[in-house]
Amino acid sequence: MGELIAEVLRWFADGTRWSGPEGVVQRLFEHLQYSLLSTVVAVLIALPIGLLIGHTGKGAFFAINLASFGRALPTVGVVILVFLVSGLNLWPVYVALVVLAIPVIVTNTYAGMAAVDHDVRDAARGTGLNGWQVLFQIELPLAVPLIMNGVRLAVVQVVATATIAAYISFGGFGRYVFDGFAQNDLAQVFGGAVLIAVLAIALDLALSGLQRALTPRGLALQRRRSNR
Amino acid sequence: MISFEAVNKKFADGTTAVRELDMEIPEGQLTVLVGSSGCGKTTTLRMINRMIDATSGKVRVDGRDVRDVNASTLRRNIGYVIQQSGLFPHRTIGDNIATVPRLLGWDRKRVRDRVVELLDTVGLARDLAGKYPHQLSGGQQQRVGVARALAADPPILLMDEPFGAVDPVVRTLLQDELLRLQDELHKTIVFVTHDIDEAVKLGDRIAIFKTGGHLVQFSTPAELLTHPADDFVADFLGAERGLKLLSLTSLADVPIEPVTTVTESTSVAEARRAGDGWILAVTDNGRPRGWVHVDHLPADGVLADAEPIVAAGLTANASLLAALDATVSSPVGLAVRVDEDGCVAGVSSPQQINERAARFRAEVLVP
């Protein structure tokens, strides 16, 4: 065990590891590209669905159960399925990651909308806000913390799963994992795994900052007080 | 004016909330809809601003069928206050109050001035404008709810159990404030409650609903208390109908008898010379403190050292019921009267109060 850790450290210490077309920095950009693009597309699809279900109250059952469905869906299966149609390009990776990210964002967005106080929504309508105004001025701001929870969960899952890009010969940190296995180089496998974990944690921290920035001040104060 | 013509409301689950309702709610008055839960009073209220649409029949506001008006437009012209105030937790008090003016596109300065004006109107400090709802007490939140409803000066105000969630002391205070506001503003207010005492206290007219959505009686509080339409109404009004009637008229016409008062800073020795039984202690600026018996005075010192039986002062606006209550809890059987400044003006006896009650009875108990 100690031997392995030492080897992994040596792996990281190797200066040539970091630069060049196969270096860590290049792989980082690839991994970020797969992860962030997939998450952005997933948010663009999932957010409106979650908001719609939350606002109308129709399809709640669907929204609640989508998350379990998402967990049950084998990502590798999706990759292969899309690969059969699209051939060798990045489409299988993007489709699989987007499909992975959508359920958790839909479910959390719905949960955020469902948690908006009935009286608040009633008062908003009764005061004369129309449907869109209720959605964008009242429900969405109040649902922001839970929506962002969903996005954070999705990003962590997507970053971890973007490893599969290497499975069909593309880049990202998954390269180290798959190549390491192929070359029976355990240090490389672990090195790749550590990089993926660190990236996931870093993105989660960054998003928690964004979550704080997007949460309306009154809501943040209220939560802080009720947590005391 | 708001009118209901043969209005029915059936919900999808088959329950009938409102049945064949015909009612005309008079302009500029406070109409209370009262009844136990499930009687359709809230549904009736919510049909006015189209939060619920009637299954059949017509609801008209100023002669126009509400269904011919865009719901949001309609609601911006009708103030709406609900039980838990329904304030937007992510918006400041000022922004909450500014909701409708902003929807109506008022310019910034006009909105800001209006917010300040409304905080004054509902008796809240101006610096609360920058606070958030959770930083306010329940009673303050409810005041903000009222201010928000009044923001664009709508002629109609709908209030759905607005004081149901605050403690009794605050509730009484808010009720008094509402009456004071209504004295100035003369809005057409529709007020839902399940509390008959609240209904009697606030209502110019009271509509009593029965489970299943029947309007059983719609009349003035006095008419209701003296001539309940049936046993249901009589039961709902409760056992002390006669006493409730006394809450409808004030002390204004009851004569005031002079009373000897002794200020608190008076020495005990001097206070003893003021009378030989109960004396009325007042503060140095003339407000009532309470009754003190000369035999119970401390050996020396001033009157303030004695522990009086507290007597609250009644203004001319106080009800006969409050006055009767005061005579019962006073050791001398007298109600202490005060002027507008709260200074002792004299006392009234139970006989005088009863005489007024008898005259009031004669006025309202027309056979």
- Residue B260's pLDDT is 84
From A130, A133, A142, residue closest to B89, measured CB to CB: A142
Name the residue in chain B with its Cα closest to that of A120: B86
- Distance (Å) of CA A204 to CA A2, A140, A197, B94: 30, 21, 11, 35
3-class state of residue B28 by DSSP = coil
Answer yes or no: is A16 within a domain: no
From A128, A142, A217, residue closest to B103, measured CB to CB: A128
Answer yes or no: is A54 within a domain: yes
Answer yes or no: is A27 within a domain: no
Answer yes or no: is A20 within a domain: no
pLDDT bucket at B92, cuts 50 / 70 / 90: very high
Long-range contacts for B362-366 (Cβ within 8 Å, ≥24 apart)?
B364/B222, B364/B223, B364/B225, B364/B226, B364/B245, B364/B248, B365/B226
Mean pLDDT across the stretch B137-153? 95
Mean pLDDT across the stretch A66-78? 82
Domain count, chain A: 1
CB pairs under 8 A between A and B: 79
Q: Which residues on chain B are in Cβ contact (under 8 Å) with A219? A: 89-90
Q: What DSSP state is assigned to residue A135?
A: I
Cβ–Cβ under 8 Å, residues B292 and B300: no
Answer yes or no: is A157 within a domain: yes
Q: State the nearest Cα–Cα gap between B212 and chain A, in angstroms.
A: 24
Cβ–Cβ under 8 Å, residues B337 and B313: yes
Structural domains of chain B ordered from first start: 2-248 (3.40.50.300), 252-359 (3.10.580.10)
CA distance B44 to B56: 13
Instruction: Answer with the residue of higher pLDDT: A48 or B286.
Output: A48
pLDDT bucket at A228, cuts 50 / 70 / 90: low
pLDDT bucket at B367, cuts 50 / 70 / 90: low
Q: State the nearest Cα–Cα gap between A217 and chain B, in angstroms.
A: 7
CA distance A32 to A94: 12
CA distance B52 to B73: 15
CATH code, A96: 1.10.3720.10
The 10s digit of each residue's pLDDT in A144-159 is 999 999 999 999 999 9
> For chain B, what is the mean pLDDT?
92
Mean pLDDT across the stretch B169-189? 93
Answer yes or no: is A111 within a domain: yes
Q: State the nearest Cα–Cα gap between A211 and chain B, in angstroms.
A: 15
Instruction: For B73-91, give the DSSP string.
Output: HHHHTEEEE-TTTT--TTS
From B82, B83, B90, residue closest to A218, measured CB to CB: B90
Instruction: For A206-228, give the DSSP string.
Output: HHHHHHHHHS-HHHHHHHHHHH-
Please indicate whether, in this complex, the C-beta atoms of B132 and A119 are within 8 angstroms of each other.
no
- Residue A151's pLDDT is 97
Choose the mutation target among A127, A134, A136 for the interface with B, i.e. most B CBs under 10 Å: A127
Q: Is A115 on the interface with B (CB under 8 A)?
A: no
Mean pLDDT across the stretch A51-70? 86
Predicted TM-score of the model (pTM): 0.84
> What ipTM was reported for this prediction?
0.86
Using CB atoms and an 8 Å cut-off, which of residues 118-137 of chain A contact chain B?
A: 119-120, 122-130, 133
In the block, tokens 């303050």 appear at B140
Answer yes or no: is A190 within a domain: yes
Cβ–Cβ under 8 Å, residues B221 and B29: no
Range(s) of the domain holding residue A122: 2-9+34-222
Lowest mean pLDDT among A51-55, A86-90, B39-43, B131-135: A86-90
Answer yes or no: is A18 within a domain: no
Q: Is A225 on the interface with B (CB under 8 A)?
A: yes
The 10s digit of each residue's pLDDT in B256-269 is 999 888 888 888 88
The 10s digit of each residue's pLDDT in A184-209 is 999 999 999 999 999 999 999 999 99
Q: Which residues on chain A are in Cβ contact (under 8 Å) with B48? A: none
Name the residue in chain A with its Cα closest to that of B88: A120
Cβ–Cβ under 8 Å, residues B229 and B249: no
The 10s digit of each residue's pLDDT in B285-335 is 889 999 988 888 888 888 888 888 888 889 988 889 989 999 998 999 999
- Residue A139's pLDDT is 97
Please indicate whether, in this complex, the C-beta atoms of A129 and B51 are within 8 angstroms of each other.
no
pLDDT bucket at B366, cuts 50 / 70 / 90: low
